[in-house]
Amino acid sequence: MHSDDVRVPTARGELFSRRWRPADAVPGAAPVLLFHDSLGAVALWRDFPAQLAAALGREVIAYDRLGFGASDPYPAAQIGADFIAEEARYSLAALQRAHGFADFIAFGHSVGGAMASHCAAAAPAQCLALITESSQAFVEDLTLAGIRAAAEQFAQPGQLERLARYHGDRAAWVLAAWIDSWLAESMADWTIEPVLAQVRCPLLALHGSHDEFGSPAHPARYAGGVSGHSRQHLLADCGHVPHREYPDTVIALVRDFLAEALAPATDAG
């Protein structure tokens, strides 16, 4: 497995990205583009991207959003109110140029799933499939309770240092960006459903049965909100990070879904 790091210039600053390329990658196959969660970074995907690339026989690309990981700082003191939509507006085309791809498969974890959905809606001719994992479709009481509980945990001595391993001196900003954005009154009525109505590609919605940040209502909203083929899968005894808790299961589900979703159409006549 070969991997390389690429700096991606955008109008607002440089993104850090990493690409995993299996030796048997199918030439010209659309890569999987990973969108991380609210506290995430490329490094926090750990070995999942390499495992996914090997299983699918196609490239996997992950990147740090501005303000996160090894990317440049966010261009404002606070994250924007439309931060979920920003990735489609500012990052997608830059990643396509830097890595030399047009078609892609969008895979987003947690809030990254909503960001991936925006990208799928913004590039309907290029996004071949959409995969959401533990992704919020609306602001649920369980989501807010989970964020408040996490905020209390991170307030304990030494806990912020866990984030600093991945975000350096921006760890406090990353934590505040997550907590403040989701608990803001302006976020109370947010829903991904208007965006899903614009998604034309097949969708797979994965969710853990014991997800502390969202009930099974979320994958149901995702699967029911798109116009094309959709599938949802609830992983038993699983929390908010299925790709870390049950990586083999997640990879098998993704592989089978893509085999069906990307299969050439047959002429029934």
* Among the listed residues 263, 259, 258, the one whose alpha carbon sits nearest the alpha carbon of residue 131: 258
Residue 182's Cα: distance from chain center in Å?
17
Q: Where does the chain show beta strands of DSSP type E?
A: 2-10, 13-21, 32-35, 60-63, 104-109, 127-133, 203-208, 230-235
Cα distances from 153 to residues 37, 148, 188, 241, 257, in angstroms, run 18, 9, 23, 18, 36
- Residue 108 pLDDT grade (very low, low, confident, very high; cuts 50, 70, 90): very high
Helix axes 160-167, 171-183, angle to 10 degrees: 110
Say if 243 falls within a structural domain. yes
Q: What is the mean pLDDT of residues 42-64?
A: 97
**Residue pLDDT, tens place only, 203-225:** 999 999 999 999 999 999 999 99
Token duo for residue 16: 């850090």
Say if 269 falls within a structural domain. no
Say if 106 falls within a structural domain. yes
Residue 227's Cα: distance from chain center in Å?
21
Contact 205, 224 (CB under 8 A): no
Query: Taking the model in full, what pTM does it have?
Result: 0.95
% of the chain surpassing 70 pLDDT: 98
**Residue pLDDT, tens place only, 226-256:** 988 999 999 999 999 999 999 999 999 999 9
Q: What is the mean pLDDT of residues 75-96?
A: 92
Say if 267 falls within a structural domain. no
Contact 226, 244 (CB under 8 A): no
- Residue 268 pLDDT grade (very low, low, confident, very high; cuts 50, 70, 90): very low
pLDDT higher than threshold 60 for residue 267: no
Domain of 206, CATH number, reads 3.40.50.1820
Q: Which residues pair with 6 in a beta bridge?
A: 17
pLDDT higher than threshold 80 for residue 264: no
% of the chain surpassing 90 pLDDT: 89
**Residue pLDDT, tens place only, 116-160:** 999 999 999 999 999 999 999 999 999 999 999 999 999 998 889
Say if 157 falls within a structural domain. yes
Q: What is the pLDDT of residue 131?
A: 98
User: For residues 136, 55, 91 and 176, what is the CA-based torsion angle, rounded to 10 degrees?
Assistant: 40
How far is it, in rounded angstroms, from Cα 119 to Cα 89?
8
Range of the domain at 184: 2-261
Phi and psi (nearest 5°) for 255? -60, -45
Token duo for residue 157: 């001595």
Q: What is the mean pLDDT of residues 20-28?
A: 91
Q: What is the mean pLDDT of the chain?
A: 94
Q: What is the pLDDT of residue 265?
A: 54
Cα distances from 268 to residues 95, 188, 264, 265, in angstroms, run 38, 47, 12, 9
How far is it, in rounded angstroms, from Cα 224 to Cα 227?
8
Domains in the chain: how many in total? 1
Say if 268 falls within a structural domain. no
Instruction: DSSP for 84-120, please give it.
Output: HHHIIIIIHHHHHHHHT-SSEEEEEETHHHHHHHHHH
